[in-house]
Amino acid sequence: MRVEVKTSEYEFSHGKKPKGTGSWAFFIDGDIGDVLRAHWFNGKYSEARKQAVAKARELGIGIITVGS
């Protein structure tokens, strides 16, 4: 299953693409308005993204959004 990772909200808020190390919020249902559906992953963005994509696949969800 292909999972689309949307970064537009992050880019709008921070003025740049997500990168680096930190605590990353991914809205795996694609709904950025519902904080209860955020999934947090720590470490490098690239690794956190991989974990979020794996979680989305596990849940059968095809769109995730990087939190701002």
Cα three-residue angle 21-67-32, rounded to 5 degrees: 165
Q: Are 26 and 39 in contact (CB under 8 A)?
A: yes
Q: Where are the domains of the chain?
A: 4-66
Task: Give the end-to-end CA distance of the chain in Å, rounded to a whole number.
Answer: 25
CA distance 36 to 68: 15
Can you give the pLDDT at residue 28?
A: 83
Q: How far is CA 60 from CA 2, 28, 47, in A?
A: 10, 10, 20
- The pLDDT tens digits for 11-58 are 999 999 999 999 999 998 755 555 457 899 999 999 999 999 999 999
Which three-class secondary structure state does DSSP give residue 1? coil
